[in-house]
Chain A
Amino acid sequence: GNSVTQMEGPVTLSEEAFLTINCTYTATGYPSLFWYVQYPGEGLQLLLKATKADDKGSNKGFEATYRKETTSFHLEKGSVQVSDSAVYFCALRIGGATNKLIFGTGTLLAVQP
């Protein structure tokens, strides 16, 4: 079946540290891959996406590369800020008109000043 596995949190970093949140997937066919972010007290919002192998999604200093050979879509940022503290969800999209997303369990990132 289709599934997403992401590293468990919480991840605690100091400001300006390098961030990696691992995400791997299992899917039939060629899914699109996403990272969503949920800031405290808010709903989810799209952070970045990649629709085919070797694509790199990027936004707000975050980036992730669609690696078909390792079925991965790891999220990275070179220098995190306190305002990046949130829960990050990796997701894949099953093809078709319904646009169903399958999410990972989420990873809590806490950035300390």
Chain B
Amino acid sequence: SQTIHQWPATLVQPVGSPLSLECTVEGTSNPNLYWYRQAAGRGLQLLFYSVGIGQISSEVPQNLSASRPQDRQFILSSKKLLLSDSGFYLCAWSGSGAEKLFFGSGTQLSVL
């Protein structure tokens, strides 16, 4: 069966520090991968999606970047965190053409 792992579960970082959140998927090949952010009082915002290794599409301009070094690995990064980067980050995957997304358990990021 397919599983998705996301870590860490919680993270507290000072403003200006770097960020690296990792997401891996097991039990499937060539998944579409997604990073969403859930800010307090707001809906889920799609940040990045990837349909293949090295292929990253950015949905909104921001202080973050994403990379896909391997087929089932998706990394969310920042060189210098801002206060506004605080939020709940969710990784998700889907099969190509499938309508169902499978979400990880999320990372609560607090930038202080």
A binds B: yes
Residues of A within 8 A of B99 (CB): 32, 34, 49, 51, 93, 99
Q: A17 to B11: give the CA distance in the assembly, Å.
A: 38
Residues of B within 8 A of A51 (CB): 99
The answer to whether the Cβ of B101 comes within 8 Å of any Cβ in the partner chain is: yes
| CB < 8 Å A-B pair total | 65
With an 8 Å Cβ cutoff, the count of chain B residues facing the other chain is: 29
Q: A65 to B76: give the CA distance in the assembly, Å.
A: 36
The answer to whether the Cβ of A52 comes within 8 Å of any Cβ in the partner chain is: no
Give the interface size bracket for A toward B: 20 to 34
Interface residues of B in 30-45 (CB under 8 A from A): 32, 34, 36, 38, 41-45
Interface window among B60-68, B78-86, B102-110 = B102-110
Q: A46 to B92: give the CA distance in the assembly, Å.
A: 12
The interface residues of chain A, by DSSP majority, are classed as strand
Looking at the complex, which one of B41, B59, B96, B106 makes contact with A97 (CB distance below 8 Å)?
Answer: B96
Closest A-B pairs by Cβ, 8 of them: A43-B103, A103-B44, A105-B43, A44-B103, A103-B43, A43-B105, A99-B94, A43-B104
Chain B residues with a Cβ under 8 A of chain A:
6, 32, 34, 36, 38, 41-46, 49, 51, 57, 59, 90, 92, 94, 96-106
